[in-house]
Amino acid sequence: MHVIQQTFSVPYSYEVFFTTHLFDSGNPLLKNYLESQAANNLSKRLLVIADEGLIKHHPNLPAQIRHYCASVSGFELAGDILVIPGGEAVKNDMPLFYSLVDAIDQYSIDRHSFVIGIGGGAVLDLVGFAAAVSHRGVRHIRIPSTVLSQNDSGVGVKNGINYKGKKNFLGSFAPPAAVFNDAHLLTTLDPKDWRAGIAEAVKVALIKDAPFFEWLEANATALAHGDLPLMQELVYRCAALHMAHIGGAGDPFESGSSRPLDFGHWSAHKLEQLSNFDLRHGEAVSIGMAVDSVYASLLGWLDQASALRIVKLLQQLQLPVYHPLMENKDGVPSPVIKGLEEFREHLGGRLTICLLKGIGVAAEVHVMDLTLLDKAVETVRSLS
């Protein structure tokens, strides 16, 4: 018997830029980046796909983008800017997915060209997946337009669409070529979206960075009321923590079962789904973190004062900490808590839940005590 061993590593590298008014003619950032990527003196194409929700608030943006791109040497816009709906629903829209694949084909987007996605996390996930599987992967640039996508999903390496109601069932790991976070785009967000995005910052502070948590406490009221310079600092710090985790933990494409960034998420995914996405992702994560923090304190891992500080911070940020879907009613287990079993299956048979041993200190459990969990839900309800 013969055997040949194959071993290699694939290096990835990309930059996340923080700027404001990205498409102003006086801002050379994107132009400089693209011109540094121009190949062989050939004119290459930019296929721009933008989120309708964003364009409604920035109606001049398409004209600005056209004008800006005309000034970039070595690149030209491929057709007109494609404006597509935003929000989670686009990830269920298979014909829309194929229309993006068709555009990549029709405009001859090749490995020297770029697909540019501008919008919230759902649009970026959809666009990223279309780019990742066309020609076995064309380059894509992300321009996230929400707090959540600027500080979390948009700076990471995943994409995906839903399939038959299953969230992100189809997708891949495909790092972007570059990410441009434009703070100006955040100014027109719905206040609920603005605040929901802060939940991921609380999460990453709780599992990685106690001083950042204290900073969030100190600035919670101003953040909740729309302070842009503070939000820019929050986005930068949160993105940096996420990126350090992805690049530094040795498993960027998640081949193992551990999901240390998923604190508060096991229930959040279920809550989003059961509320028919009436709860935003960040709102659901806020509820999930409140319950899991109290659970950790009931377990004796986290001191009670810290658990209460966490719930208080979420409330100061005007984020929800409780939802009736969490409740165990008349002996019937909460549908969210029943989702634990589904989550165990999703992880491949062994439950792994990230909890807290302290603020800034994460640890994993492989069993959840359902009686304690009910008690945690009850406690959070009384605090809410």
Query: Can you give the binding site for its own copies, defined by CB under 8 A?
Result: 1-19, 29, 39-40, 42, 44, 101-102, 105, 108, 110-113, 132-137, 155, 158, 160, 163-164, 166, 168-173, 175, 236, 239-240, 243, 246-248, 252-255, 257, 345-350
For residues 138 and 311, which CB has a smaller minimum distance to its own copies in the complex? 138
Q: How far is the CB of 133 from its own copies (least distance, A)?
A: 5
Q: How far is the CB of 380 from its own copies (least distance, A)?
A: 31
For residues 19 and 92, which CB has a smaller minimum distance to its own copies in the complex? 19
For residues 219 and 257, which CB has a smaller minimum distance to its own copies in the complex? 257
Q: How far is the CB of 127 from its own copies (least distance, A)?
A: 15
For residues 2 and 329, which CB has a smaller minimum distance to its own copies in the complex? 2
Half-sphere exposure (Cβ direction) of 20: Cα atoms closer than 13 Å? 11
Q: Which residue has the tokens 């686009």?
A: 90
Dihedral over alpha carbons 30, 34, 35, 40 (to 10 degrees)? 180
What is the spatial distance between Cα 375 and Cα 138, in angstroms, rounded to a whole number? 50
Q: How far is the CB of 375 from its own copies (least distance, A)?
A: 29
Range 160-163, long-range pairs (CB < 8 A, 24+ positions): 160/91, 160/125, 160/129, 161/91, 161/92, 161/94, 161/97, 161/125, 161/126, 161/129, 162/88, 162/91, 162/92
For residues 10 and 332, which CB has a smaller minimum distance to its own copies in the complex? 10
Q: Look at strands 82-84 and 44-51 and give their pairing.
A: parallel
Q: How far is the CB of 51 from its own copies (least distance, A)?
A: 23
Q: How far is the CB of 348 from its own copies (least distance, A)?
A: 4
Output b/e per residue, 45-84; b: 16+ Cβ within 10 A. Answer: bbbbbbbebbbeebeebbeebeebbeebebbebbeebbbb
The distance between the two most distant Cα atoms of the chain, rounded to a whole number of Å, is 71
For residues 79 and 191, which CB has a smaller minimum distance to its own copies in the complex? 79
Listed in sequence order, the residues at least 6 apart from 370 whose beta carbon sits closer than 8 Å to its beta carbon are 333, 337
Q: How far is the CB of 132 from its own copies (least distance, A)?
A: 7
For residues 20 and 316, which CB has a smaller minimum distance to its own copies in the complex? 20
Instruction: Tell me the residue ranges of DSSP E strands in 237-384.
Output: 353-358, 361-365
Q: How far is the CB of 8 from its own copies (least distance, A)?
A: 4
What is the spatial distance between Cα 213 and Cα 202, in angstroms, rounded to a whole number? 7
Contact of 103 with 45, CB cutoff 8 Å: no
For residues 46 and 289, which CB has a smaller minimum distance to its own copies in the complex? 46
For residues 127 and 380, which CB has a smaller minimum distance to its own copies in the complex? 127
Q: How far is the CB of 172 from its own copies (least distance, A)?
A: 6
Residue 141, φ and ψ in degrees, nearest 5: -110, 135
Distances (CA, A) of 200 to 140, 180, 261: 24, 19, 9
